[in-house]
Amino acid sequence: MNRRRIPEGFPWVLPSLVVLLALSIYPLIYSVKLAAADRRNFTRLFTDRLFLTASIQTIWLTLSALSIEFLLGLALALLIDSLARGRMFFRTALLIPMLLPPVVAAVAWRLIYNPQFGVLNGTLRRLGFHTADLTWTSGESSALASVILVDVWEWTPFLFLLLSAGLQAIPPEPLEAARVDGAGAWRIFRDVTLPLLKPTIVLALLLRTMDLVRIFDQIFILTQGGPGTATETVSLYIYRTAFRFSNFGYAAAMSFVLLAATLLFSRGLLRAMRAR
Amino acid sequence: MKRTRAGWYEAARKAAALVPYLAAVAAVFIALAPVYWLLTISLKREVDQFAYPPQWIGFTATLEHYRDAFAGGSFAAYFENSVLLAAISTLAALAIGVPAAYGLARFEWPRQWDHRIGDWILSTRMLPPIVTIVPLFLMLRQARLLNSLTGLAIVYTGFNLPFVVWMMRGFFEEVPKEIEEAAMLDGESRAGALLRIVLPLVRPGLAATAVFCLVVAWNEFLFALILTQTEAAMTLPVGIASRVTQYEIKWGAMSAAGVVAMIPVLVFAAAAQKYLVRGLSLGAVKG
Amino acid sequence: MLEITGITKRFGAREAVSAVSLSACAGEFVVLLGPSGCGKTTLMRMIAGLETPDEGTIRLCGEDITRRDPRERDIAMVFQNYALYPHMTIAQNIGYPLRVRKRPAAEIEAEVKKVAARLGLSGLLANLPRQLSGGERQRAALARAIIRRPKAFLMDEPLSNLDARLRVEMRAELKHLQHELKIVTIYVTHDQAEAMTLAHRIAVMRDGKIQQFDTPANVYQRPLNTFVAQFVGSPSMNLIQRDGVILGVRPEDVQLSASAQAGASPGRIYVTEEMGNETIVVVSDGSSQITARCPAGARFEFDSTVWYRFKPDKVHRFDSSGARIPD
| Shortest Cα–Cα distance, A69 to chain B (Å) | 13
What does the pLDDT read at residue B2? 58
User: What contacts B26, CB < 8 A, 6 or more positions away?
Assistant: none
**Packing angle between helix B203-219 and helix B149-174, nearest 10 degrees?**
150
Neighbours of chain B (3+ CB pairs under 8 A): A, C
- Please tell me the pTM assigned to this model: 0.82
**Contact assignment for B266 to A117 by CB distance below 8 Å:** no
Which residues on chain A are in Cβ contact (under 8 Å) with B151?
none
- What confidence tier does A1 reach under pLDDT thresholds 50, 70, 90? very low
**Contact assignment for C85 to B182 by CB distance below 8 Å:** yes
- Name the least confident of A94-98, B32-36, B61-65, C292-296: B61-65
pLDDT at C202 over 70: yes
Look at residue A89 and give its three-state secondary structure.
helix
Q: Is residue A27 in some structural domain?
A: no
Q: Is residue A270 in some structural domain?
A: no
From CA B105, how far away is CA B123, in angstroms rounded?
18
| Shortest Cα–Cα distance, B111 to chain C (Å) | 8
Q: Is residue A114 in some structural domain?
A: yes
**Contact assignment for C70 to B181 by CB distance below 8 Å:** yes
| CA contacts within 13 A on the Cβ side of A8 | 9
* Contact present, C271 and C294 (Cβ < 8 Å): no
- What confidence tier does B257 reach under pLDDT thresholds 50, 70, 90? very high
**Contact assignment for B178 to C101 by CB distance below 8 Å:** no
pLDDT at A143 over 50: yes
pLDDT at A269 over 80: no
Range of the domain at A63: 56-232
Q: Kindly state the average pLDDT of the residues A224-243.
A: 90
Q: Is residue A218 in some structural domain?
A: yes
Neighbours of chain A (3+ CB pairs under 8 A): B
* Contact present, C277 and C213 (Cβ < 8 Å): no
**Contact assignment for A220 to B269 by CB distance below 8 Å:** no
Nearest to A235 among B130, B218, B277 (CB): B130
Nearest to A108 among B23, B37, B157 (CB): B37
- What confidence tier does C297 reach under pLDDT thresholds 50, 70, 90? confident
Q: Kindly state the average pLDDT of the residues A187-206.
A: 87
From CA B62, how far away is CA B56, in angstroms rounded?
15
| Bridge pairing between strands C29-33 and C184-189 | parallel
Nearest to C83 among B178, B188, B200 (CB): B178
From CA A113, how far away is CA A149, in angstroms rounded?
11
Nearest to B281 among A22, A99, A207 (CB): A207
| pLDDT tens string B214-238 | 999 999 999 999 998 888 889 999 9
User: What contacts C310, CB < 8 A, 6 or more positions away?
Assistant: C247, C249, C253, C254, C255
Which residues on chain B are in Cβ contact (under 8 Å) with C143?
none
Residues of C with CB under 8 A from a CB of B: 48-50, 69-71, 73, 75-77, 79-81, 83-87, 96-97, 100-101, 144
Size of interface B-C (CB pairs under 8 A): 59
CATH number of the structural domain spanning residue A205: 1.10.3720.10
| pLDDT tens string B68-123 | 888 877 899 999 999 999 999 999 999 999 999 999 998 888 888 888 888 888 88
> For an interface test with A, which of B29, B50, B131 has the most A Cβ atoms less than 10 Å from its Cβ?
B131
State which H helix or E strand residue C154 sits in.
Answer: strand C152-156
Domain count of the fold of chain A: 1
Nearest to B184 among C70, C85, C101 (CB): C70
CB atoms under 10 Å from CB of C138, counted, come to 24
- Sign of the dihedral through C-alpha A103, A109, A111, A114: negative
% of chain A exceeding 90 in pLDDT: 43
* Contact present, C30 and C201 (Cβ < 8 Å): yes
Question: What are the CA-CA distances from residue B220 to residues A105, A222, A242, B62, B149 (Å)?
Answer: 13, 17, 19, 30, 14
From CA B157, how far away is CA A73, in angstroms rounded?
32
**Contact assignment for B138 to A104 by CB distance below 8 Å:** no
Closest CA to B64 of B79, B47, B84, B83: B47
User: What contacts A271, CB < 8 A, 6 or more positions away?
Assistant: none
% of chain B exceeding 70 in pLDDT: 96
Nearest to A122 among B23, B54, B259 (CB): B54
**Contact assignment for B225 to A94 by CB distance below 8 Å:** no
**Contact assignment for B135 to A217 by CB distance below 8 Å:** no
| pLDDT tens string B134-146 | 899 999 999 999 9
- Sign of the dihedral through C-alpha A24, A26, A30, A36: positive
Instruction: In chain C, list all ranges with CATH 2.40.50.140.
Output: 239-318
Residues of B with CB under 8 A from a CB of C: 176, 178-179, 181-189, 192, 197, 200-201
pLDDT at C116 over 90: yes
- What confidence tier does A181 reach under pLDDT thresholds 50, 70, 90? confident
Which residues on chain B are in Cβ contact (under 8 Å) with C75?
185
From CA C323, how far away is CA C321, in angstroms rounded?
6
Instruction: Report the topology of domain C239-318.
Output: OB fold (Dihydrolipoamide Acetyltransferase, E2P) (2.40.50)
**Contact assignment for A104 to B50 by CB distance below 8 Å:** no
Closest CA to B243 of A111, A155, A97: A111
* Contact present, A62 and A234 (Cβ < 8 Å): no
For residue C86, what is the nearest residue in chain B, using CA coordinates? B201
Query: What residues pair up with B44 in beta bridges, in sequence order?
Result: B61
Q: Kindly state the average pLDDT of the residues C205-215.
A: 95
**Contact assignment for C83 to B187 by CB distance below 8 Å:** no
Q: Is residue A63 in some structural domain?
A: yes
**Contact assignment for A216 to B221 by CB distance below 8 Å:** yes
What does the pLDDT read at residue A275? 59
**Contact assignment for B284 to A203 by CB distance below 8 Å:** yes
pLDDT at A134 over 90: no
The overall average pLDDT reported for chain C is: 92
| Shortest Cα–Cα distance, B31 to chain A (Å) | 6
What does the pLDDT read at residue A273? 65
* Contact present, B132 and B145 (Cβ < 8 Å): no
What does the pLDDT read at residue A2? 46
From CA C195, how far away is CA C18, in angstroms rounded?
22
From CA A157, how far away is CA A50, in angstroms rounded?
33
Roughly how many angstroms between the first and final C-alpha of chain A, as a whole number? Answer: 49
Q: Is residue A164 in some structural domain?
A: yes
Q: Kindly state the average pLDDT of the residues C48-60.
A: 92
Q: Kindly state the average pLDDT of the residues B161-185.
A: 92
- What confidence tier does A116 reach under pLDDT thresholds 50, 70, 90? confident
pLDDT at C66 over 70: yes
Closest CA to A201 of A157, A252, A163, A164: A163
From CA C189, how far away is CA C41, in angstroms rounded?
9
pLDDT at B5 over 80: no
CA dihedral C17, C22, C26, C28 (to 10 degrees): -80
Higher pLDDT, B14 or C25: C25
From CA C153, how far away is CA C143, in angstroms rounded?
12
- What confidence tier does A132 reach under pLDDT thresholds 50, 70, 90? confident
Q: Kindly state the average pLDDT of the residues C53-70.
A: 92
| CA contacts within 13 A on the Cβ side of C302 | 1
Nearest to B185 among C70, C80, C85 (CB): C70
Question: What are the CA-CA distances from residue C38 to residues C34, C78, C208, C209, C321 (Å)?
Answer: 6, 20, 5, 8, 19
- CB neighbour burial string for A143-166, b if at least 16 within 10 angstroms, e if fewer: bbebbbbbbbbbbbbbbbbbbbbb
| pLDDT tens string C122-161 | 999 999 999 999 899 999 999 999 998 999 999 999 998 8
| Shortest Cα–Cα distance, B222 to chain A (Å) | 7
**Contact assignment for A101 to B254 by CB distance below 8 Å:** no
> For an interface test with A, which of B134, B166, B278 has the most A Cβ atoms less than 10 Å from its Cβ?
B134
What does the pLDDT read at residue B272? 80
- Name the least confident of A206-210, A272-276, B145-149, C83-87: A272-276
* Contact present, A58 and A213 (Cβ < 8 Å): yes
| Shortest Cα–Cα distance, B161 to chain C (Å) | 28
> For an interface test with B, which of C9, C73, C79 has the most B Cβ atoms less than 10 Å from its Cβ?
C79
Which residues on chain C are in Cβ contact (under 8 Å) with B176?
81, 83
From CA B213, how far away is CA B193, in angstroms rounded?
26
pLDDT at C47 over 70: yes
Which residues on chain C are in Cβ contact (under 8 Å) with B187?
71, 97, 100-101
| CA contacts within 13 A on the Cβ side of C286 | 3
Which residues on chain A are in Cβ contact (under 8 Å) with B215?
99
From CA C2, how far away is CA B266, in angstroms rounded?
60
Instruction: In chain C, list all ranges with CATH 3.40.50.300.
Output: 2-226
**Contact assignment for B285 to A103 by CB distance below 8 Å:** no
Nearest to B201 among C75, C77, C86 (CB): C86
Nearest to B37 among A34, A103, A111 (CB): A111
Question: What are the CA-CA distances from residue A97 to residues A204, B244, B276, C48 (Å)?
Answer: 17, 20, 14, 53
**Contact assignment for A86 to B21 by CB distance below 8 Å:** yes
Instruction: Report the topology of domain C2-226.
Output: Rossmann fold (3.40.50)
Residue ranges of the alpha helices (H) in chain B?
5-43, 46-49, 64-66, 75-106, 113-126, 129-142, 149-174, 177-185, 190-193, 199-201, 203-219, 222-227, 236-244, 251-271, 276-280
- Spell out the long-range contacts of A22-26 with Cβ–Cβ below 8 A and sequence spacing 24 or more: A22/B158, A23/B132, A23/B136, A23/B154, A23/B155, A23/B157, A23/B158, A23/B159, A24/B124, A24/B127, A24/B132, A24/B158, A25/B124, A26/B135, A26/B139
From CA C214, how far away is CA C237, in angstroms rounded?
18
What does the pLDDT read at residue C263? 84
pLDDT at B33 over 70: yes
